Amino acid sequence: MENQATSKSSLQIVRRFNAPQSLVFKAFASQEAFAEWWGPSGSQLTLINFDFREGGVTHYRLDSGGMVMWALFRYREIRQPDSITFISAFADAGGNIRTSPFPFDFPLEVHNNITLTETGGVTTLKLYAEPVDATPEQEKTFRELNASMNQGYEGTFKQLDTYLLKLQG
C-alpha cells in the first residue's frame, strides 16, 4: 500500500532565475545551450540525439566516475516561450526505455511540465512531475509515442541486420 501511494505521488519545484524568460527557454530548446548545463556536475554529458520539437526525442548518455547511464526526453507539447511538456525515462544505449538504475520503485516514465513566467527580468520556473501512468489518457499517448519510436528503432536494426548479413555474405 505504501508503494502504491509513493508511485502515485507527484512533485512540484519552483525556482527563480535571474535571467529573462527567453534565455531560460533557450537553455532547454537549443542543443548548444542544453549541452552546456545539463547533467550533474562531475559527470560528462554526451548528446546522442537532440530534437527539441513536439514528438522529438533527446537521448543522452552520462559518464560519471566510471559509471554509465542513458536517459531520454520525449517532447509532447512545446509552447514557446513559456511551457515545455515532456516525458523523461531511463534508457539503454539504443534509446529503448529501461527500468531505473535504482533498486526501488521508480516510475518507468515521468511526465514533466515546465512553465516559465517573467517579472522584471526574473524568471520563475515551475516544474510539475508525475508518473506517466497517472491517467489512462497519458498512458494512451505514451503507448502511441512508444509504438512509433519502436518502429523507428526496428527500422534501424533492420538496416543493421542487412549490413551485417552483407558483411558475412
Q: Which stretch binds other proteins (CB under 8 A): 8-16, 52-60, 143-151, 154-162?
A: 8-16
Cis link prior to 81 (omega < 30° from 0)?
Answer: yes
Separation of alpha carbons 49 and 95, rounded Å: 9
Q: Which stretch binds other proteins (CB under 8 A): 52-60, 72-80, 124-132, 142-150?
A: 124-132
Separation of alpha carbons 98 and 90, rounded Å: 5
Q: Is 95 in the site for other proteins (CB under 8 A)?
A: no
Shortest gap between Cβ of 128 and other proteins (angstroms)? 11
Q: Is 37 in the site for other proteins (CB under 8 A)?
A: yes
Q: Is 163 in the site for other proteins (CB under 8 A)?
A: no
Shortest gap between Cβ of 41 and other proteins (angstroms)? 6
Question: What values do phi and psi take at 51, rounded to 5?
Answer: -145, 80
Cis link prior to 107 (omega < 30° from 0)?
Answer: no
Q: Is 101 in the site for other proteins (CB under 8 A)?
A: yes
Cell numbers found for residue 37: 548545463
